[in-house]
Amino acid sequence: MSQSVLEINKNDLSPEGVSRFESALGPIAVYELDGAYYATQDGCTHARASLSEGEILDGELIECPVHGGTFHIPSGRAVGFPCKTPLRTYKVSDAGATLRIDLECEAAAACVRGETHVHGA
Amino acid sequence: MTARMADFHTSWIEAPKLERLMDLENGRMSRLVFQHGGLYEQELERIFARCWLFVAHDSQIPKAGDYITTYMGQDNVIIVRQKDGSVKGFLNSCPHRGNKVCFADAGNARQFICNYHGWSFAIDGRLKGMHASEAFDSTGFDPAGHGLHPVAQIDSYRGLIFATLDPHAPPLAEYLGDMRYYLDAVFDMDGEGTEFVGGCVKSVIRCNWKLAAENFVGDALHAGWTHDSGARAMVGEGVGELHKNPQQSYQVNFNGHGWEFNQDIIGNCASLGDKELVKYLYALQPHVAGRLDEFRSRMIGSISSCTLFPNTSFLPGQNTFRTWHPRGPQEIEVHIWTFVNKSAPPDIKERWRKGSMLTFSPSGVFEMDDGENWEYATRTNEGYLTRQQDLYIGLGGNTRVYDTGLPGNVHQGQVNEANQRAFYQRWLDLMGSASWAEVPQRDVPAEASV
């Protein structure tokens, strides 16, 4: 398998909806939202924090466990204070029992890098 | 705290001089204990930063992340349920620049984030992260050791959660000692325990905290005089003449805690003017007698009051539970809740909530009577010559009884000041001791109640 693809077993996903995996690029957060799969960088872009320890809100937002900022999971867009820089997203392919995460390719819905979007600021 | 900073402290008034404030054997005490600013500072250290203080009822924080904020002395604390079901307590102050980290009275939190610089604390107090964490990283900052400051010890008895700021305090069971035997009569009637209903009602009374605590520790005397009009308003007749039947009533105390009571089962409850509550207690009494004993079953709602040293009090039957938080020598912030048996029908719980609000909320017919008395018993001591005059506290000096088989120090007759004297003896013992090891061991728990 190429270094640029991380293959994970679906059985290793947490029932909480977000799980952390190590990759060649560092930790990755993998999400299952109502049967669809997504992946982003695990580290919060605001301050040191592991998003896989956070909670999924409103079905498609990940809330950072440290300061409560939020990101839109499919696009990586920064949604809630204090997050400003979007998350790096990764393309996920469903291969039945496993998921293949392409570390070189953003998700189809990825927001334009550098976009900032802060609600309620 | 670093040793260098911990060495900075005020010099206190030590035992030989303190003892001039009390002559309890002769039923006299100084008024200065209600007025002296230096003594108040000493109380914050030697009473409130040392004793076990009530901080929450189990029923207030059932789920992980549930928290309440309250006071231990003037220290604001967060009491929070952990994921493993245990309870932790922390100073509600950020260890970075000192700001308050939680502004709500109660709620559920995944973390507590300081408004000032974004330091974020887990419910177990650990520092999870900071705003601008890269800047801290570059100075080699280690988040370990920068969590919220924990209370020294936390424990519970019959759903009542207590904490102490002193790591050397004896265990809670030993601190409550023989009072546990009596607490069971009210907080463990049927094995199902109690809960708080409704919220917390707060008020400010411009009195010294000890005047409130000593009232509940043993002052049955004031009821027939102070509360005559209130009792007439609630039930159409005044308070019974308690002093004329001392054979059926008692004061018991243990290391400054005190309970005055009679054996009439429902006397306090009846003052709420709701016959359904009286019927509920009469129906429950035989079951309590079977589970505990006949004697304690006759205390479940009787004319009675209790203070757990130093500043937690409650009234069986009226079901008001409160803490008297000190705000300097001449002011308290009162926090009041209504407690009920968890197993009681919803209608009964609601009747108790209403009844306790009618009588013992800030506008309650009995609460208002007490507040004015305590305010003027405090404020008169602003007079320079007035505060030099000592006070009488000698009622019932010859009432100690030894043949009842009851735990604690037992006195015959609830119209008495034996518990108040024991309260001030404990106050004196703690105020004159630099550490728990020096506190005189006057009362040791009886084997039977351990």
Q: Is the pLDDT of residue A118 over 80?
A: no
Average pLDDT over residues A28-44: 97
Distance CA A96, CA A53 (A): 26
Phi/psi at A12 (5° precision): -90, 0
- Bridge-based pairing state of the strands A98-102 and A70-72: unpaired
Average pLDDT over residues B133-137: 94
Give me the numbers of helices (H) and strands (E) for chain A, helices first please: 0, 10
Q: What percent of chain B has pLDDT over 70?
A: 97
> How confident is the model at residue B379, as a pLDDT?
96
Task: CATH number for B53-154: choose from 3.30.1600.10, 3.40.50.150, 2.102.10.10, 2.30.31.70.
Answer: 2.102.10.10
Average pLDDT over residues B342-348: 98
Interface test with A, best of B120, B121, B124, B139 (most A CBs within 10 A): B120
Q: What tokens appear for B168 in the block?
A: 């050397």
The CATH number of the domain holding residue A79 is 2.102.10.10
Residues ≥6 apart with Cβ < 8 Å to B165: B48, B49, B50, B72, B73, B75, B151, B152
> How confident is the model at residue B11, as a pLDDT?
79
Contacts by residues A46-50 (CB-CB < 8 Å, ≥ 24 positions apart)? A46/A82, A46/A83, A46/A84, A46/A85, A46/B131, A47/A82, A47/B118, A47/B129, A47/B130, A47/B131, A47/B132, A47/B133, A47/B134, A48/B129, A48/B133, A48/B134, A48/B137, A49/B128, A49/B129, A50/A20
Q: Is the pLDDT of residue B89 over 50?
A: yes
What 3 state SS string does B325-337 have? EECCCCCEEEEEE
pTM of the model: 0.92
Name the minimum distance, in Å, from the CA of B131 to any CA of chain A: 6
- Measuring CA to CA, how many Å separate B410 from each of B217, B238, B256? 13, 28, 13
Closest CA to B50 of B253, B256, B351, B316: B256
Please list the residue range(s) of chain B that carry CATH number 2.102.10.10. Answer: 53-154
Hey, how many other C-beta atoms are within 10 angstroms of the C-beta on B182? 27
Distance CA B48, CA A48 (A): 38
Q: What is the pLDDT of residues B179-193, one digit of tens each?
A: 999 999 999 999 999
B65 touches chain A (CB under 8 A): no
Average pLDDT over residues B109-135: 97
Selected residue with higher pLDDT from B294 and B363: B294
Q: Is the pLDDT of residue A10 over 60?
A: yes
B118 touches chain A (CB under 8 A): yes
Decide if A116 is inside a domain: no
Interface test with B, best of A57, A67, A81, A83 (most B CBs within 10 A): A67
> How confident is the model at residue B49, as a pLDDT?
97
> How confident is the model at residue B9, as a pLDDT?
63
Q: Is the pLDDT of residue B1 over 80?
A: no
Decide if A112 is inside a domain: no
User: Per the CATH hierarchy, to which homologous superfamily does domain B192-449 belong?
Assistant: Naphthalene 1,2-dioxygenase Alpha Subunit; Chain A, domain 1 (3.90.380.10)
Nearest CB among B113, B134, B137 relative to A67 is that of: B113
B403 touches chain A (CB under 8 A): no
Decide if A46 is inside a domain: yes
Name the minimum distance, in Å, from the CA of B161 to any CA of chain A: 28
- Measuring CA to CA, how many Å separate A35 from each of A17, A39, A99, A107, B424? 10, 14, 12, 16, 68
Decide if A114 is inside a domain: no
Q: What is the pLDDT of residues B281-290, one digit of tens each?
A: 999 999 999 9
Q: What tokens appear for B338 in the block?
A: 């209504």
> How confident is the model at residue A120, as a pLDDT?
37
Phi/psi at B335 (5° precision): -110, 125
Hey, how many other C-beta atoms are within 10 angstroms of the C-beta on B26? 12
Distance CA B442, CA B447 (A): 16
Name the minimum distance, in Å, from the CA of A116 to any CA of chain B: 18
Please list the residue range(s) of chain B that carry CATH number 3.90.380.10. Answer: 192-449
Selected residue with higher pLDDT from B37 and B349: B349
Q: Is the pLDDT of residue B295 over 50?
A: yes
B447 touches chain A (CB under 8 A): no
Average pLDDT over residues B68-93: 98
Is A48 in contact with B110 (Cβ distance < 8 A)? no
- Measuring CA to CA, how many Å separate B344 from each of A11, B197, B200, B277, B291? 47, 12, 20, 10, 17
Q: How many domains does chain A have?
A: 1
Decide if A118 is inside a domain: no
Range of the domain at A50: 5-102
- For every residue of B209-262, DSSP letters joined together read HHHHHHHHHHB-TTHHHHTHHHHHHHHSS----GGG-GGGEEEEEETTEEEEEE
Closest CA to B391 of B13, B35, B11, B4: B35
Task: Answer yes or no: B325 catalytic.
Answer: no
Sorting pLDDT into bands at 50, 70 and 90, what band is B396?
A: very high
**Annotated catalytic residue within B166, B219, B274, B369:** B219
Q: What is the pLDDT of residues B201-231, one digit of tens each?
A: 999 999 999 999 999 999 999 999 999 999 9
Average pLDDT over residues A98-116: 82
Chain B contact set for A68 (CB, 8 A):
110-111, 113
Decide if A64 is inside a domain: yes
Sorting pLDDT into bands at 50, 70 and 90, what band is B240?
A: confident
Is A68 in contact with B137 (Cβ distance < 8 A)? no
Sorting pLDDT into bands at 50, 70 and 90, what band is B447?
A: low
B113 touches chain A (CB under 8 A): yes
In sequence order, the β-bridge partners of residue B81 are B87
Q: What tokens appear for A108 in the block?
A: 């189809």
B137 touches chain A (CB under 8 A): yes
> How confident is the model at residue A113, as a pLDDT?
57
ipTM tops the 0.90 cut: no
Burial of B233 from C-beta contacts in 10 A (0-12 / 13-18 / 19+): middle
Q: What tokens appear for A95 in the block?
A: 């291969």
Decide if A16 is inside a domain: yes
Closest CA to B24 of B437, B362, B420: B420
Decide if A119 is inside a domain: no
Q: What tokens appear for B144 in the block?
A: 């370990």
In sequence order, the β-bridge partners of residue B297 are none
> How confident is the model at residue A117, as a pLDDT?
44
Q: Is the pLDDT of residue B424 over 60?
A: yes
